[in-house]
């Protein structure tokens, strides 16, 4: 996809996501800053913040778990490269602890694909598997939403025993619910 395609797609994705009742009524949303060719999330993050939503962004820890910080705008992001991995944009400022995600009303998850059952295929690092397990352990039940391109909604993805389904996928062309 060209840079213009990614910009147009991210605008459409933000528009669809902002229509979700789960985000319309959320006080706190755990999200992420897209990297590489992922569907762009900055337009959505800025729109949520403009609504007065507290947006939490992940900070990758050395063991692949996620800490969280508050999104204060694009100027509050710093590029971070850990090991030989891709460069991530992470929030500057105070880190809130991995448990901060348990207070979110909605969690926006990255992924490579999601299937007709709502099973999400991630990048394989296990960071979001830990997040989902943490939410389950404390009985938190935020809306779990994956942001993808239309072609990344597929018939079936591989599944491990620890995998958990998501509630919805948002693509530039619409929303599909699983629960």
51 compared with 84, residue with greater pLDDT? 51
pLDDT mean over 64-83: 94
CA 52 to chain centre: 18
Looking at the predicted structure, is the pLDDT value of residue 171 above 90? yes
- What pLDDT is stored for residue 75 in this prediction? 97
Indicate the Cα dihedral angle 131, 135, 141, 143, nearest 10°: -10
Output the six-digit token pair for 77.
């992001």
Q: Is 174 left (phi over 0), alpha (psi -120 to 50) or beta?
A: left
Q: Does domain 3-177 have CATH number 1.20.140.10?
A: no
Give the per-residue pLDDT at 3: 78
Per-residue pLDDT, 20:
95
d(CA 64, CA 59): 9
Q: Report the chain's mean pLDDT, rounded to a whole number.
A: 93
What's the pLDDT score for residue 45? 97
Q: What are phi and psi of 24, to 5 degrees?
A: -65, -30
Q: What pLDDT, on a 0 to 100 scale, did the predictor assign at position 117? A: 95
Q: Which carries the bigger pLDDT value, residue 97 or residue 10?
A: 97
For the chain, which residues make up each domain, given as ranges?
3-177
Give 5-38 pLDDT, tens digit per residue. 888 888 899 999 999 999 999 999 999 999 888 8
The pTM of the full predicted model, rounded to 2 decimals, is 0.95
Q: What is the mean pLDDT of residues 92-99?
A: 97
pLDDT at 89: 96
């Amino acid at each position: 996809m060209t840079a213009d395609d990614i910009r147009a797609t991210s605008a459409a994705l933000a528009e669809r996501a902002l229509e979700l009742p789960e985000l319309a009524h959320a006080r706190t949303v755990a999200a992420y800053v897209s990297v590489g060719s992922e569907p762009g999330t900055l337009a959505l993050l800025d729109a949520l913040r403009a609504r007065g939503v507290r947006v939490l962004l992940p900070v990758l820890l050395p063991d692949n778990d996620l800490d969280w910080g508050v999104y204060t705008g694009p100027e509050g992001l710093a590029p971070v490269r850990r090991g030989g991995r891709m460069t991530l944009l992470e929030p500057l400022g105070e880190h809130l602890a991995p448990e901060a995600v348990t207070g979110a009303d909605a969690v926006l998850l990255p992924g490579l694909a999601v299937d007709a059952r709502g099973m999400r295929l991630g990048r394989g690092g296990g960071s979001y598997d830990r997040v989902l397990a943490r939410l389950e352990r404390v009985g938190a039940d935020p809306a779990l939403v994956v942001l993808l391109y239309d072609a990344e909604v597929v018939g079936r993805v591989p599944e491990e025993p620890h995998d958990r389904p998501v509630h919805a996928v948002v693509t530039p062309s619409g929303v599909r619910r699983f629960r």
